[in-house]
Amino acid sequence: MKDSGKVGGRSGAKKGSSGRSYRGKAGLTRQPKKMRGRKVSSQRWLTRQLNDPFVAEAKTRGFRSRAALKLEQIDDRYKLFQPGMAIVDLGCAPGGWMQVASMRTKLGQGLARLVGIDLLETEVILDAEIFVGDIMDSAMMECVRDAVGGTADGVLSDMAAATTGHRPTDHLRTMALLEVALDFAFEILKRDGFFLAKCFRGGAERDVLNIMKHNFKSVRHVKPAASRKDSIESYVLATGFHGKGLGNGVVNMANS
């Protein structure tokens, strides 16, 4: 599989999805207050957050997380959302992706439906249904089916396991979540639906990707500009669900 490269690339000044540029003074880095007593890793994370233009943009625009900008950038390029779609967001807390999906499907203005699931409580999204529970619970699947009207046009998953700092371990844990999300998508996607999920690249995802290739017309890796350059994080986007199973169908591997 070939990486499609950055979505919403960077050159010169950093740009948010709104098109605004962020330029800081050369060599000047803002430092968080109250750093004393914190672990070095925590100090680095806080400093990075404070100086990240996408964090600033997300806050300014009222998004619950910078992840919302990642979904915006992916959708700007691949045009996944359409008004009236039924969308399911797995691991939806704190709700940034649901905010974007709500706006782009025009939730509340027609037939659009939006469902979120998480083990944690998620703040209300107007006209969306949010369930607290485990996506592997069979009863949860029935709740989601009822909420979307049977099948969904798209399944989203920004789920990732808590990182340990050991990349091979983090990769395997996130791949396990990808498998769970994919199983859920197979159960609820309608024909030609799409699946977008976090995917730490590292080799172990090969089997999961092979399954996806046999069940979708197109499978590609995408890495939006709002995803940090030094992160192993990327996303896998599968479109044109046909659910033919292993060994059937022709896979169209996209390069862009």
**Residues designated as active site:** 198
CB contact at 8 A, 22 and 253: no
Q: Reduce the DSSP state of residue 134 to 3 states and report it.
A: coil
In the chain, what is the straight-line distance between the N-terminal and C-terminal CA atoms, in Å? 11
Q: Is the peptide bond before 53 cis (omega within 30 degrees of 0)?
A: no
Q: Which candidate, 231, 239, 160, 238, places its Cα nearest to that of 198?
A: 160
- Classify residue 135 by its DSSP letter: T
CB 219 within 8 A of CB 254: yes
Identity at 143, one-letter amino acid code: C
For residue 204, how many C-alpha atoms fall within 13 Å in the half-sphere facing its CB? 15
Mark 235-254 as b/e (b = at least 16 C-beta within 10 Å).
bbbbbebebeeeeebeeeeb
Q: Which residues pair with 220 in a beta bridge?
A: 237
SS3 assignment, position 250: coil
Helix axes 206-213, 167-188, angle to 10 degrees: 20
The secondary structure of 57-95 as a DSSP string is HHHHTT-SSTHHHHHHHHHHHH----TT-EEEEET-TT-
